[in-house]
Amino acid sequence: MVRFETLATQNGKQLGLMVLDAPARLNAQNLAMVWAMQEQLDAWRDDPNVVAIVVRGAGERAFCAGGDIKALYESMCDEALIDEADAFFTHEYTLCMELRRYPKPVLAWGNGVVMGGGFGLFASSSHRVVTETSLLAMPEVAIGLFPDVGASYWLHQLADGVGRLMALSGIRLNAIDAVEAGAADVALASSAWPLVLDTLAELPWSGGGHSDAILLANALGALAAAQPAPLPESLWQPVRDEVRTLMDGDDLAAISARLSAYAGDNAWLGEAAASHRVGSPHSVALAWTMAQRARNLTDIELLAVEIRMAKYCLRHGDFREGVRAKLIDRDGAPRWRSASLDQVLQDAATALA
């Protein structure tokens, strides 16, 4: 479920608070939750008293771990339910696209796990806050899907090829790396949440979207400067140059070969290489092909392509098998459709045609 509240500010305005409230499943979204968020955001958009939106996840473990993958698996196993899975992806992707265009500031409190569709919500928000517990990832290569919710574009805008590495391996960024890479705007201590709300309530909101966005950014920056978060050590920056070299170029075969052959002593990069090696070849090809295509697409065009690709994965890809191995039987041994890299790239191109 999703809880909605309005919080009064000292100058008579209101903040809309949206809380993803399914902590037992790391606040993973289902179709009803997506619908509820869209309906409430539409209402707040048209309410002149509401000047900004704040999105967070219930509990301390996660902002949002993505979609309710187990529910999607049930839909894939029952032809009568497959339309529900289609509807989930369609509305989830649309929600994220509309959030990127929202006329009022949206603060996402990315505490804990921020993955998949949860990363989509986070990345689509205008003001993105991480804490010392944050872990950001698009892990779709491990379950036979592709980095979606607009990630075919925005993930690849991150610095020095780290977004490409995330897409091809599912590797995670921690808070300090998320800020450095451009995946987050500011880092605050998780314990600062009550102070954040108090600070927001005291700001002189005007109701002007652009001016209020600047107001909010300045307030968050001041909080971060006054109370630096106790962040973990960087995972990416010690190998930043190496990642840039590994991910360089427009030849997936060469990039995949370099990543797969990594034999260095950096544990984080070694984990990325191992995840790439055992991930779905079809997911790797889709992630690559979608990213190449997204360079020349508008937001609306990318939305249409992602919806079409999600429908394809629900029916013809490795998605069902990946979810089975990862979350249902938990045997960790997905039986991917075997094919050469040339073949999976051709399959991806055909699916996108």
Q: Provide φ and ψ at 81, rounded to 5°.
A: -105, -5
Q: Provide φ and ψ at 292, rounded to 5°.
A: -65, -40
The answer on pLDDT for 86 being more than 90 is: yes
Predicted pLDDT of residue 235: 97
pLDDT digits over 180-237, tens only? 999 999 999 999 999 999 999 999 999 999 999 999 999 999 999 999 999 999 999 9
Beta carbons of 352 and 293 less than 8 angstroms apart: yes
Provide the pLDDT confidence category of residue 331 given band limits of 50, 70 and 90.
very high
User: What is the average pLDDT across 123-149?
Assistant: 97
Domains of the chain: 2-352 (3.90.226.10)
Provide the pLDDT confidence category of residue 344 given band limits of 50, 70 and 90.
confident
Predicted pLDDT of residue 352: 80
8-state DSSP, 229: -
Token pair in block for residue 259: 């990543």
Amino acid at 214: I
User: What is the average pLDDT across 325-340?
Assistant: 89
User: What is the average pLDDT across 304-327?
Assistant: 94
Amino acid at 88: F
Amino acid at 111: N
Residue among 22, 87, 105, 16 at smallest CA distance from 61: 22
SS3 at position 301: helix
Provide the pLDDT confidence category of residue 112 given band limits of 50, 70 and 90.
very high
SS3 at position 115: strand
Question: Torsion over CA of 293, 83, 325 and 291, rounded to 10 degrees?
Answer: 10
Provide the pLDDT confidence category of residue 340 given band limits of 50, 70 and 90.
confident
User: What is the average pLDDT across 137-153?
Assistant: 96
Sole residue written with tokens 């998605």: 319
Beta carbons of 303 and 147 less than 8 angstroms apart: no
C-alpha separations of 131 from 21, 107, 160, 230, 301 in Å: 19, 13, 23, 8, 33
Mean pLDDT over each residue of the chain, to the nearest integer: 95
Sole residue written with tokens 């073949």: 343
Provide the pLDDT confidence category of residue 8 given band limits of 50, 70 and 90.
very high
Beta carbons of 41 and 98 less than 8 angstroms apart: yes
8-state DSSP, 324: I
Beta carbons of 86 and 343 less than 8 angstroms apart: no
The rounded distance, in Å, linking the Cα atoms of 287 and 166 is 10
The span from the first CA to the last CA of the chain, in angstroms, equals 37
Provide the pLDDT confidence category of residue 115 given band limits of 50, 70 and 90.
very high
The rounded distance, in Å, linking the Cα atoms of 348 and 281 is 11
